[in-house]
A and B are shown apart, each in its own frame.
Chain A
Amino acid sequence: MPRGARDPLPSGDEARLLTRYEDVRRALSDPRLSREGATGSDAARITDDDSDIFNSPMACTLNAVGHERWRRMLSRWFTAKRVQALRPAMERTADRLLDEMPDHGHPADLVSHLAFPLPVFVICAMLGVPEADRDSFKGWSDTFPSMAKYSRDEVTTAHREFEEYMAALVADKRAAVSAGKAAEGEEDLLSLLITATDAEGRPLSGEALTATGQALLLAGHETTAGFITVMAAHLLSDRRRRQRLLDDRSLARQAVEEMLRFDPSGGFGMIRYVHEDVELGGTVAPRGTTVVCSMSAANRDEDAFDRAAELDVTRSPNPHLAFGAGPHSCLGQALARTEMQAVLDVLLRRLPTLELAVNGAELRQVDGLLTSPPAALPVRW
């Protein structure tokens, strides 16, 4: 693909596609480009409705709050130390889910019984979403990213119901907090955020709290579930790779990074709006250009990674862009990394009894050609 090609988006608007590592990294970190600008009226749109989460009313509410202020208020819940403290609970949950898998029949699907429920459980526990509500949440979250599968009405309804649910949850928590009823130990993120203030002593508005809850629930599980699936597939499909990791368990961390880098499904890429002329990919992107940063292409750029097309679990250092870069880089990356490491550890511990229940052709698909994480991953034990 030529550098910085101009490509029509599904909406019909044009944007410049960036595929080289250095260009993508620069576009994501350079202050002359912004994500907020990409929701403006003269920016190219990805689709011609507002079902994209970064163009939704939720995203607009968050933009209005002020991104830097919002991020600073939230960062404390996503530090390495905080998420490390959650790791034992993640491993227990993964073990329990695997223990329960035989109850679901044989072969069982690793996606619906491990890769999906684990991140939902982790983010719901963090936010303080009651366990009983998690199933309705699954229905909504299935609807959002599948614009092709559901009608526009269905997507709009799901968005509305999800917002109403979150607004009600925030109201409940606010009532509990102000009545001093938030029981001991009920220190979930949403309850604490109700009374939190920024550096100037201002709290977040009710709408901003609702939008934050929605954003974290959505951001927190879909991608993570996809990556857990891909990781399990890579692990179960290649005996040598598996043995390498069993022989040296300290490789788990690097292995997770390599699965993140290697993923070819990174979605469409991140969009950015150019506020001032900037040189990208050897030419000037004039002010007003919309660029699409393909992280998955960048992560396979031979100029940035030796043998970029090979999955090498010992690769180090591995400065991949799966979590983006710059001021919007994934806030939940320490959490996502820790979830993936916890699952990898648990799988390695249980491996001798766990194997894929699909054949070679399907495996090859899993191992490099897929464009999105497999919808199901049948396993037996």
Chain B
Amino acid sequence: MKVTVDEARCCGAGQCALIAPEVFDQREEDGIVLLLDGAPGSRVHAAVREAASVCQAAAIRVSETS
């Protein structure tokens, strides 16, 4: 799984970081998403998929090709 984030779209409300804190964090100064792990392990795939599909800003892209 490969994950990318689009900082320009992000509104910084942190839903991704609540759902998958192993993969997403937020910049200290303004809350914009920070990608911690662009190729996360299978243990967190479900959480990452959930984070991507609930992000209202559509700022998270997940590609399933290993």
Binding site for B on A (CB under 8 A): 25, 29, 71-72, 75-76, 78-81, 83-84, 253, 257, 316-319, 321, 323-327, 329-331, 333-334, 337-338
B30–A75 CB distance below 8 A: yes
Q: Closest CB of chain A to B36's CB: distance in Å?
A: 12
Task: Please measure, in the bound complex, the distance between the C-alpha atom of A334 and the C-alpha atom of B33, giving whole angstroms.
Answer: 13
The answer to whether B12 touches A25, judged by C-beta atoms less than 8 angstroms apart, is: no
Residues of A within 8 A of B25 (CB): 80-81
From A25, A316, A323, residue with most partner B Cβ within 10 Å: A316
Q: Which residues of B contact A337 (CB under 8 A)?
A: 15, 18
Is there a chain A Cβ closer than 8 Å to B1's Cβ?
Answer: no
Q: A25-B56, A72-B30, A81-B26 are in contact. Are A317 and B49 (CB under 8 A)?
A: yes
Complex contacts, B14 vs chain A, CB 8 Å:
78-80, 83, 333-334
Secondary structure type dominating chain B contacts = loop
**B interface, how many residues as a size bin?**
20 to 34
The residues of A that contact B21 with a CB separation of less than 8 Å are: 80-81, 84
User: What are 8 A-B contacts defined by CB distance under 8 Å?
Assistant: A75-B26, A75-B32, A76-B28, A78-B14, A84-B21, A316-B50, A334-B14, A334-B17
CB-defined contacts of B39 to chain A, threshold 8 Å: none
Report the minimum CB–CB distance from B2 to chain A (whole Å).
Answer: 19
Q: Is A317 within 8 A of B54, CB to CB?
A: yes
Chain B residues with Cβ below 8 Å from A338 are 18
Q: Is the CB of B17 within 8 A of A333?
A: no
Q: Does B53 contact A (CB under 8 A)?
A: yes
Query: Complex Cα distance A257/B12, Å?
Result: 18
The docked-state distance in angstroms from the alpha carbon of A327 to that of B26 is 16
Write out the residue numbers on chain A whose beta carbons fall within 8 Å of the beta carbon of B53: 317, 319
In the complex formed, the residue of A with least CB distance to B12 is: A75
Q: From B21, which residue of chain A is reached at the shortest CB distance?
A: A80
The 9 closest A-B pairs by CB, nearest first: A75-B31, A80-B17, A80-B14, A325-B56, A317-B53, A334-B14, A79-B26, A319-B54, A72-B30
Partner of B56 from the list A83, A84, A321, A334 (CB cut-off 8 Å) is: A321
- Having A72-B29, A321-B56, A337-B15, one finds 14 other A-B pairs with CB under 8 Å, namely A29-B57, A72-B31, A75-B32, A78-B31, A84-B18, A317-B49, A317-B50, A319-B56, A326-B57, A330-B13, A334-B13, A334-B14, A334-B17, A337-B18
CA distance A76 to B13 in the complex (A): 10
B11 in contact (CB, < 8 A)? yes
Q: How far is the CA of A183 from the CA of B64 in the complex (A)?
A: 51
On whether A79 and B31 interact (CB within 8 A), knowing A329-B13, A331-B13, A333-B13, the answer reads: yes
**Bound CA span A330–B15, Å:** 11
CB of B60 to closest CB in A, whole Å: 12
The closest CB in chain B to the CB of A71 belongs to B12
- Given A317-B49, A317-B54, do A334 and B15 touch, yes or no (CB 8 Å)? yes
CA distance A121 to B11 in the complex (A): 26
Question: Chain B residues with Cβ under 8 A from A257's Cβ?
Answer: 54
The answer to whether B13 and A323 have CB atoms under 8 Å apart is yes
Q: Which residues of B contact A84 (CB under 8 A)?
A: 18, 21
B30 touches A29 (CB 8 A): no
- CB <8 Å contact, A81 and B17: yes
Give chain B nearest CB distance to A262 CB in angstroms: 16
Question: Which one of A80, A326, A337 has the highest number of Cβ atoms from chain B below 10 Å of its Cβ?
Answer: A80
Instruction: Check B26 against A326 for contact (C-beta < 8 Å).
Output: no
Contacts of A81 in B (CB 8 A): 17, 21, 25-26
Do the beta carbons of A333 and B57 come within 8 Å of each other? no
Q: Which residues of B contact A318 (CB under 8 A)?
A: 54
* CB neighbors of A among B20-66 (8 A): 21, 25-26, 28-32, 49-50, 53-54, 56-57
Q: Which of A25, A324, A333 contacts B15 (CB 8 A)?
A: A333
- B15 contacts A76, CB within 8 Å? no
Q: Is the Cβ of B29 less than 8 Å from the Cβ of A76?
A: yes
A321 to B14 Cα, complex, angstroms: 15
A79–B56 contact, CB under 8 A? no
Question: How far apart are the CA atoms of A182 and B18 in the complex, in Å?
Answer: 32
Most buried by B among A79, A253, A330, A331: A79
- The residue on B at minimum CB distance from A317 is B53
